[in-house]
C-alpha cells in the first residue's frame, strides 16, 4: 500500500502539556500578531486540488518500485477488484511549489487521455489524488527498454529489418501526436518500453512529461529534451513538430551502428556538433548498411526543419514501411569484426551501452548562441 503522509503530526504520548504563557493569552485576546500570522502561512502546506477521484487506495494495492524521477515514483500495482496489474506514477504534491508544476501534471493527464487507444502508446486508465499525491494509473509494460532488448540478444541475428520495425512503431506514435497538434519533445529510447518479453511484443511510448500542444504556425521558444537527441531548431528556440522527427533520426542512426551521430564530452560541445556538423556515414558498419537505410536517416537528420520528412512521409519511406526493403542480413557478426565492414555483436553492445548512458543533463538552460558557432 502506498504510504500517505499527513501535514500535521500528533504529539508523542507522554509529552508534557505546556502552560499558556502571557504572550499566548495576549494573542488569544487580541488575535495573532502579524509576524506570527506570516510564519503560520509560510508553514502551512498549499492545498492543490485537481478534481480527480480520491479512492485510489481503496481500489489499488501498490507493489514494487519500478523507477523514479524528479517529482515522483512509478510503482507496479494491482486492481483489488479485477486482479489486473497496472503501473502507477505517483507524483508528490509537496513538490508542486509553482503553478507551472501543477499545469504540467494536468497537461500530461490530458495528453494521455487524448492518445488513449493507440497500439504503441501506453494505455491510460485513470487519474486519482489524495491530500499528498497524484496517481496516474497506466498500462504495465514489463518487456524492458528498447536498447536493453537489443543488448540482451543471445545471437547476432539483429538486422535492419529489426531496426525498421522498431522505428516504424516510434513513427506511428509521432504521427499520431502530430495529427493531434501535439509535440512529444523528448523522443529517446528510454521513453519506450516493450509491453512484454515476447519476441513480437509491441513497443509502447510511456512518458509524455515534456509533451505539449502547439497551434499551426506557432513555435516553441524554450529548450527541453535530452541533449543527444535535441534538434537544431530547439537550440535556436524556434521548434515545432519537426523536432520529434529529428530525434527519431538520431535513434535510427544509433540502432544501425551503435554510435551517436553527434558527440562530445560536454553538453555545449554536443550542441555545437548538432548545429555545425553532419553525421558520419563512413565508419564501420555503414559500408555494409543498405543505401535505403542511409537515405532514410539522412532525410530525417536534415538541419532545416522545413526540408525534413514529416512523420507521415517517413512512414511511407521504402526502408521503414511495412514489408519494406530493409535488409534481413545480420547487421553484426560475432567472428570477424572486419568482415564486410561489420562490427561484432560484442562491440556493438559496448557502443550501444555507451550511447544509452544518460550522463549529460537535459538541455534546459540557455544554449550556445547559434550565430556565434
Please spell the DSSP secondary structure of 225-236, one letter per residue: S-GGG--HHHHT
Residue 285: the pLDDT is 81
Cell triple for residue 88?
A: 502507477
Q: Which of 83, 107, 139 is the last residue of a domain?
A: 139
The verdict on 111 and 174 lying in the same domain is no
Q: What is the CATH number of the domain that holds 119?
A: 3.30.200.20
pTM across the whole model: 0.78
The verdict on 83 and 207 lying in the same domain is no
Q: Which residues are catalytic?
A: 186
Residue 155: the pLDDT is 57
- 3-class SS at 165? helix
Residue with cell 519511406: 317
Q: Which of 139, 170, 195 is the last residue of a domain?
A: 139
Q: Which of 101, 124, 139 is the last residue of a domain?
A: 139
Closest Cα to residue 110, out of 85, 136, 129?
136
Residue 40: inside a domain, yes or no? no
The verdict on 211 and 65 lying in the same domain is no
- Domains in the chain, number: 2
**What is the CB neighbour count within 10 angstroms for residue 357?**
8
**Binding positions for ATP:** 89
The verdict on 168 and 307 lying in the same domain is yes
In whole angstroms, give the CA distance from residue 213 to residue 103: 13
Residue 281: inside a domain, yes or no? yes
Residue 330: the pLDDT is 58
The tens-digit pLDDT sequence of the chain (373 residues) is 333 322 333 333 333 334 444 444 444 444 455 555 545 444 445 578 999 999 999 999 999 999 887 778 999 999 999 999 999 999 999 999 899 999 999 999 999 999 999 999 999 999 999 999 999 999 999 999 887 887 776 555 678 888 999 999 999 999 999 999 999 999 998 899 999 999 889 999 999 989 999 999 999 999 998 888 999 999 999 999 999 999 999 999 989 988 889 988 899 999 999 999 999 998 878 888 999 999 999 999 999 999 999 999 999 999 998 877 766 665 655 433 444 444 555 666 565 555 544 444 455 544 444 334 4
The verdict on 341 and 222 lying in the same domain is yes
Buried b (16+ CB within 10 A) or exposed e, 27-60: eeeeeeeeeeeeeeeeeeeeebebebeeebeebb
Amino acid at each position: 500500500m502506498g504510504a500517505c503522509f499527513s501535514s500535521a503530526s500528533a504529539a508523542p504520548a507522554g509529552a508534557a502539556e505546556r502552560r499558556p504563557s502571557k504572550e499566548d493569552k495576549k494573542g488569544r485576546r487580541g488575535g495573532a500578531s502579524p509576524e506570527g500570522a506570516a510564519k503560520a502561512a509560510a508553514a502551512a502546506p498549499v492545498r492543490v486540488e485537481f478534481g480527480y477521484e480520491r479512492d485510489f487506495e481503496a481500489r489499488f494495492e501498490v507493489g514494487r518500485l519500478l523507477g523514479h524521477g524528479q517529482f515522483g515514483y512509478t510503482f507496479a500495482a494491482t486492481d483489488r477488484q479485477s486482479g489486473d496489474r497496472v503501473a502507477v506514477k505517483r507524483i508528490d504534491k509537496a513538490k508542486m511549489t509553482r503553478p507551472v508544476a501543477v499545469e504540467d501534471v494536468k497537461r500530461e493527464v490530458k495528453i494521455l487521455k487524448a492518445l488513449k487507444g493507440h497500439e504503441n502508446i501506453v494505455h491510460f486508465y485513470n487519474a486519482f489524488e489524495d491530500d499528498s499525491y497524484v496517481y496516474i494509473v497506466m498500462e504495465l509494460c514489463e518487456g524492458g527498454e528498447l536498447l536493453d532488448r537489443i543488448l540482451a540478444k543471445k545471437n547476432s541475428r539483429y538486422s535492419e529489418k529489426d531496426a525498421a520495425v522498431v522505428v516504424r512503431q516510434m513513427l506511428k506514435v509521432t504521427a499520431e501526436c502530430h495529427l493531434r497538434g501535439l509535440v512529444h519533445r523528448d523522443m529517446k529510447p528510454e521513453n519506450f518500453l516493450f509491453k512484454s518479453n515476447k519476441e513480437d511484443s509491441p513497443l509502447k511510448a510511456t512518458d509524455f512529461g515534456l509533451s505539449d500542444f502547439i497551434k499551426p504556425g506557432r513555435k516553441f521558444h524554450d529548450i527541453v529534451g535530452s541533449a543527444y537527441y535535441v534538434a537544431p531548431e530547439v537550440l535556436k528556440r524556434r521548434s515545432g513538430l519537426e523536432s520529434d522527427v529529428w530525434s527519431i533520426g538520431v535513434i535510427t542512426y544509433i540502432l544501425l551502428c551503435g554510435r551517436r551521430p553527434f558527440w562530445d564530452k560536454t553538453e555545449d560541445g554536443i550542441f555545437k556538433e548538432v548545429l555545425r556538423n553532419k553525421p558520419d556515414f563512413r565508419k564501420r558498419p555503414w559500408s555494409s548498411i543498405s543505401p535505403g537505410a542511409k537515405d532514410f536517416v539522412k532525410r530525417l537528420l536534415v538541419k532545416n526543419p522545413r526540408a525534413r520528412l514529416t512523420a507521415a512521409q517517413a512512414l511511407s519511406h521504402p526502408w521503414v514501411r511495412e514489408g519494406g526493403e530493409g535488409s534481413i542480413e545480420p547487421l553484426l557478426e560475432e567472428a570477424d569484426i572486419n568482415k564486410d565492414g561489420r562490427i561484432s555483436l560484442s562491440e556493438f553492445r559496448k557502443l550501444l551501452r555507451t550511447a544509452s548512458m544518460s550522463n549529460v543533463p537535459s538541455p534546459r538552460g540557455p544554449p550556445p548562441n547559434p550565430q556565434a558557432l
